[in-house]
Structures are given as C-alpha cells and as structure tokens.
Structure 1
Amino acid sequence: MASLLLLGGLWVWLEPGEVVDAVGPLAPGWMLLALALTLPQVLLSAWRWRLTSSRLGLPLGWGRALREYYLALFLNQVLPGGVAGDAARAWRHSRDSGRRGSAWRAVIIERASGQLALLLLTLLVVALSPLWQGLLGEALASLSSPLVLGVASLLVLLGVPVTRRLLRRPPVALAGLGGDLRRSLLASSVWPRQLAGSLLVVLSYALVFVCAARTIGVTLPLGTLLALVPPVLMAMVIPLSFAGWGLREGAAALVWGLAGLAPAEGVAVSMAYGLLVLVASLPGALCLPGPSRRAAAGPSGDGSGPGEVQVEDGVVAAAE
C-alpha cells in the first residue's frame, strides 16, 4: 500500500510524460552488465552470511548459502516489507540447526553489516563530494529551526523508553545480541573482513544503479551519478514498501532536485534500477518450495543418510 501511495503521489507531482521523456534510447549492453554485476554481489553477500554464522558456531555450506540468499532476494522483491526473504532464511536455518536465537541473530547481524557500510559510504559521499558541499551547509543551518528541534526532541522522548524496554526485555531472537555482535562483527579478527565485504556489496549496488542510468540513456557524468546514488539507496532501508518501490523513487526525485537536476530523470533511473534488481532476483524463484521436490524426496529427504544432501521444504540443502 505504501508503495502504491508513494508512486501515485509522484505520478501526480511529476506527470507521467516527464518520466517517459527522461528515458532515452535503451542500451542492452549496459543492462547485461548490470545483471552480471549482481552475481558477485550475491556471492559476497552469501560469503558474509557464512562468515557471520561461522563466528556464532553455525556451519553453513556454500551451496546452501547461495540458494538461500537467492531465494531471500526473490522473496524480498515480491513480498511486502522487503525483509520477508531474510526472515525466511533465518527461520529455515534456525529450524535445521536447532539453534533458533543464534540463526536469527546471524541474519540480523549480517544485514546490519551491510546497512552500516551503506550508511558509512553515504556519509562519506555527502561530506566529501563537491556536489553536496553547498547543500550540506544549508541543511546544517536548517537544523537549528524550531520545527526541526521540536521533531528531534519528540523522537528522543519516544525513543528512549522504547529502547530501555527492549534492553530490559529483549525479544527471544535478540537475547544475547551484544555478545554475538562482538564475536561476529566487532572482533578485531573479523571486522576488517566484514567491512571490506559489505563495502564491496554496496559498491556493486551503486554500479548497478549507474548501469541502470546508462541503460535508459542518462548521460550524467560517472562522478555525479556515484554521488547521487548512496542517499537514494538509504531510502530502501525503511521496510515499508515492496522492494523499496515508492520510497526509492521519492528519494531519487528529492536527491535529483536538491542537486539541481530534473526529478523526473531521477525517478526514471530509480525505476530502471528496480526492474533490473527484480530480473536479477528471478533465479531465486527456482528455489521456491514445490510439491514435486518433496514427493521425490520421500519421508527422509532423498533417501540419503546423515551428512548427505537432503531436500527440505523444496530447498536442496547439505546436511550440516
């Protein structure tokens, strides 16, 4: 619903013709490059999940990690909220490992690693890019307005009691999160690998966005595009839409407008990016549970013993 409302608002504000006019001659080569870039992106993400899980004592094979991650990407694209796929892989891993809390926290920490890298990159781009220097000064000046201060105070008043309650009575999946964070994300032996892997994943997001722009004929300089992308991607962190649709396009319109560019062009690029990501996630549909696979597996997977390949809920997984 949120996606439809936001897209509808943009449709009224910009006029459909403006967005269509922003699309130039299509370039299939750039589209293929964008899809190719998503493969190392998924490989790095699956590696990050395996690294996090191993630090929590949860073995996770390469094949299973890749299949589960592709399935999660697909479900995140077609189900509300954008996190249903991650919840599904956490649930399956918790069921098969018999360690519910650790499996859920592994996914939470793995996703947090990526979001922290995105936040870091966004802050660096906004602070260092010449495109944002003047805008940053104006934004800092506006923070002293009574309205902004009032809203910030209200958020603090609401957030402090909620945070205290969560600390006193954390949900089951979050109990022990502090210790797991130290082991799998903050330890000196692991945080450089987590940071490097997550930054490479975020960089791949940005490059796919650049390819989306080139696919529809947008000719903005590479440096300008790379400066615009991280703030747009930050909007997708909010789990209130289908795969970021609406939030991402609204952020693109705002960011393009703040940079003195045509908002319709930003919306067109953002929509092209969304379509490319959807296409890239389609291999995950092959991992959806299916009755034919369950029937072929029989009551004990595929008849294999412990340590062999088994079929569970339609997803082929190596028994740990």
Structure 2
Amino acid sequence: MRLLSETSKSGMNKRLISIAVSVAILLIIYSKIDIQHLLEVFQKSDPLWMTVSLGMVIPITLFTSWRLQQLMPKDTHLDFIEANRLILGASVLNMVLPSKMGDIAKAYFMKDRGHLSGSLALSLVIFEKACDMLSLLLWCVFGLFIYSPKDSFFWVMTLAVAAGLILGLLLLGSRQFAAVFFVNAIKIAPKKIKKKLSSAQTAWEEMHSYFWSDRQQLLKISLTSIFIWFLHLLQIWLFMVALRAWVPFWVNFALSPLAILAGLLPLTFAGVGTRDGALVFLYAISPSPPYFGEATAAALGLLCTSRYFLPAIIGLPFLSQMMGAAKKMRNQ
C-alpha cells in the first residue's frame, strides 16, 4: 500500500508539472497574439457550423462505443448504453488521472462487472488504443504523401510517421516481431518501466491470440477505427469552416494529425499547449503563404481542446462508478 501511495503521489506530481508546462506554453502563445483579435474570430464564426462541429462529439462517441461492443468476445454481452458509459467515464478519468489511467480503469470495470477476465479486458483496451494510434498514423501518412509542396521538415515528418505506422503494423501483425521488440525493450528500459513492459507484453500476446483467431472481426474493428478517425479529422476541418478559415480538406489529413501527435507527447496536460503550438506553427507560420492568421489558429486550438473536455463533461454522471473501479484497481 505504501508503494501504491508513493506511485499515486508521483503520478499527481507529474500531472501538476504537466499542467504547469501547459500554462507556460499557452502564456507564450497568447503573449504573441492579440486577444481582442482572438475574441473577434469567435464573434465572427458561423453559429450553424460551430454547432455542427461541436456536435460531432456525439457520433464519434457513439461509433467508439459500438466498436467497444464489437471488441467483446461472442460469449459475453455489453449493452450499448453501458459501452457509452465506459467510454465517457474513461474520458473523465483521463482528464484527472495520469498516464491514461481512465482506459485502464475501463478494463478493470469490465472485469469487475463480470464481462470477461482481467487479462483479456486489458488486452481489449490495448488493442483499442493500438487501432486508434494506427488509424491516426494511417491518415497522417496518406495526407503527408499528397501534401505539397513539402520542405525538409515535412519530408522528415513523412518518414517518421511512416516508420511509426510500419512499426505499429509489425507489432500488431507479427507475434514473432512483437516478442523480439518487447524482449529488447525490457532489457534496455529503466527499472520502473520494466514491470509495465512485462505486463504489456503478456497482454499483447493474449491480444494476438484472441484477435487473430477471428480475421473477420479483426477487419471489422480495423475499418471501424479508420472511419472513427476520419470523423475526428472531419470535425477539426469543420472547426475551420465554423471559424470561416478555408483550408482544402486533403490538407487537413496531413496537418491535423501532426498536431494531434504533438499533443500526445507526455509533456503537457491533455495535450494543451503542445497541440495549440503545433496548430499555430502548421497552419499560421510554416506554410507560405499561411492558411490563416495566428489568432484563428489559436481559436482552432481551443476548439480542439473542447474535443477532449466535452466528452469528459458529459461523462461526469458516471465518474463515481469509474472512480470506484480505479480505486479497486489501485488497491490490488
């Protein structure tokens, strides 16, 4: 219990540091932007398209919940309503707990409700997150390959994202490659991470056994994940339409995923700051000529942050259930 308490305090300290970094980056960004101009961008926005773009949270959540249902073994049952509760509850916990612990709590909650074993529940969540990451990388590679003109920065990003996609596909598609990867990663990892990698390796092996036994289900989940991330990127493009900032739709496939990937770096709170800075750079600074001004890019950053806060707000009624699962998970 003492070790768990120390781990919890360490996680909280990291979360406070990430919030401080987010605030610092935002202060730098907004110190270079006319706040009055930023307010005018929102005042001149299109109310209809703003409503439609923010409302995209609903179909994205519904499709994500349906995918969670499809991930369940055929001899188990997860209600669509309960799947939505799990997705929304995990969104809340991911905002307040470090290291995406909301998704881990979601796995424990499924186990606690008797849906499936603990190791298989963790495997499903890992596979779900792997599909999300690979789908994002796939759209990013697609967008970057057709994006032009590309300078050295975008060529480096294209190669890096393509390498990440290939690595992810090899880990997901080849059990032998995954085994070699985890063995070597465990050897060179710090002591604190070795145990986590060992647990991840076990869950990954079980995931391989489960999903590759049913190729039809694997294909259905993969295509659904790709479509869900199409909806995510469509929502960001609709944000631009709502802000009356025109960007070709295909350009959005290249630049928005890069900003999302920047937000996934473990530096800031929920990606706030790094994602905003990336949007300003990619849309308002780097292109020549820029697609729109820095104030509009900052407004886009705020709307992108709402993509994470809105599901968390909607999921607040389910927080107590998920917190109970998180506490039980921590006490085991």
Settle same-fold status: TM greater than 0.5. Answer: yes
Q: Tell me, yes or no, if structure 1 residue 95 matches structure 2 residue 122.
A: no
Structure 1 residue 80: Cα displacement: 4.5
Query: TM-score normalised to the size of structure 2?
Result: 0.70
Q: Tell me, yes or no, if structure 1 residue 197 matches structure 2 residue 224.
A: yes
Q: Distance in 1 between matches of 2:159 and 2:82?
A: 50
Give 1 or 2 for the bigger CA radius of gyration. Answer: 1
Q: Distance in 1 between matches of 2:48 and 2:158?
A: 41
Q: How many correspondences in the alignment?
A: 276
What's the counterpart of residue 167 of structure 2?
A: none
Q: Tell me, yes or no, if structure 1 residue 128 matches structure 2 residue 146.
A: yes
Contact 1:34 1:212 in 2 (8 A): yes
What's the counterpart of residue 174 of structure 2?
A: none
Mapping of 1:228-247 within 5 angstroms?
Answer: 228-247=255-274
Percent of residue pairs bearing the same amino acid type? 18
CA RMSD of aligned residues (A): 3.5
Greater helix content: 2
Q: Tell me, yes or no, if structure 1 residue 258 matches structure 2 residue 298.
A: no
Q: Distance in 1 between matches of 2:315 and 2:158?
A: 43
Contact 2:92 2:313 in 1 (8 A): yes
What's the counterpart of residue 320 of structure 2?
A: 289
Q: Distance in 2 between matches of 1:141 and 1:110?
A: 25
State the SS of the aligned residue for 1:232.
Answer: helix
What's the counterpart of residue 162 of structure 1?
A: 185
Unaligned runs of 5+ in 2: 1-16, 161-181, 326-332
Structure 1 residue 131: Cα displacement: 4.8
Q: Which amino acid aligns with 2:207?
A: D
State the SS of the aligned residue for 1:59.
Answer: coil
Unaligned runs of 5+ in 1: 143-158, 291-311, 315-320
Contact 1:209 1:273 in 2 (8 A): yes
Structure 1 residue 204: Cα displacement: 1.2
Q: Which shifted more, 121-130 or 80-89?
A: 80-89
Contact 2:143 2:251 in 1 (8 A): no
Mapping of 1:170-189 within 5 angstroms?
Answer: 171-172=198-199, 174-184=201-211, 187-189=214-216
What's the counterpart of residue 12 of structure 1?
A: 28
Query: TM-score normalised to the size of structure 1?
Result: 0.72
User: Deviations for 1:62-120, whole angstroms, at most 9, x for unmatched residues?
Assistant: 221111111112332x3154623212211211222262111111111111111111011
Q: Distance in 2 between matches of 1:187 and 1:259?
A: 45
Q: 1:214 aligns with which of 241, 253, 262?
A: 241
